[in-house]
Amino acid sequence: MREFMNITKALADESRVRTLLALRGGELCVCQITELFGFAPSTVSKHLSLLFQARLVESRKAGRWIYYKLPGKNAPAAVRQALDWVEKSQANDPQILADNKQLKKILKLDPVELCKRQCKK
């Protein structure tokens, strides 16, 4: 029951669902996710923390940066099913399509410079 409740809590926010769908294309740095949504880094960190607790994302640290990605094939069945459901039900939402377009622009930027720029804000 706890796993189910963590997943449903994590999916109960539009920004977290948008984050999961942004990660479909691969690993993203926190700075890239912050740039995509225009939120404060602390807000993005809170969202990512809830997704991580629900095991809907995995993370790795590389120096000062933390990268997130969707879990692999070894994820629990409930996690895989939840991610499949999110993708099938929201992949063609206009907001998600706009996010995908914006993310393509963000991925062309140097992540180091992006992170430095955000630290100055």
Topology of domain 2-120 in CATH is: Arc Repressor Mutant, subunit A (1.10.10)
Backbone phi, psi, residue 72, to 5°? -80, -170
Are 28 and 69 within 8 A, CB to CB?
Answer: yes
Domain boundaries, the chain: 2-120
d(CA 68, CA 7): 17
Output the pTM of the full model: 0.91
> Is residue 115 very low, low, confident or very high in pLDDT (cuts 50, 70, 90)?
confident
When the pLDDT of each residue in the chain is averaged and rounded to a whole number, the result is 92
In which residue are the tokens 């100055």 written?
Answer: 120
Q: What pLDDT does 2 receive?
A: 85
Per-residue pLDDT tens over the stretch 45-101? 999 999 999 999 999 998 888 999 999 889 999 999 999 999 999 989 999 999 999
